Structure 1
């Protein structure tokens, strides 16, 4: 009951080929490859957009100095991506 030998894997492969056929398996493989390629391209594009946004962003000015006992008014907003 340990690991499978090469003969076990060959029998499984033959059964899979008989059940699904080579055409269907080839189509499944090309669909899966296209999905992986699309995912990689999407990650590459998103990284390039982030780098372009970082290089065009204006530096934020330093916050004003607060004196002791001074009350600061303002509102908190979520950071949004553009």
Structure 2
């Protein structure tokens, strides 16, 4: 009862095809692929921006007051 047989998967696939149609599934996968590419590009742009910020930033040293 806990495992799914090949017949279960075929029925699920048939229902998915009926709901979404034959042309919608490849279109949906294409949209997912575009989203992943856009996400990766955004992450690499963020890495480049942080690398530029790191190279131009300055460090300020703070000396403790020792007169106490």
Same fold, TM-score > 0.5, yes or no:
yes
The one of the two structures with greater contact order (alpha-carbon pairs below 8 A, sep at least 6) is: 2
- Count residues with an aligned counterpart: 68
- Alpha-carbon offset, residue 55 of structure 1: 1.2
Larger fraction in helix: 2
Unaligned runs of 5+ in 2: none
Name which one, 1 or 2, has greater alpha-carbon Rg. 1
CA distance in structure 1 between the partners assigned to 2:15 and 2:31 by the alignment: 22
The alignment yields a C-alpha RMSD, in angstroms, of 1.5
Q: Runs of at least 4 residues of structure 1 off by over 4 A?
A: none
TM-score between both structures, scaled by the size of structure 2: 0.83
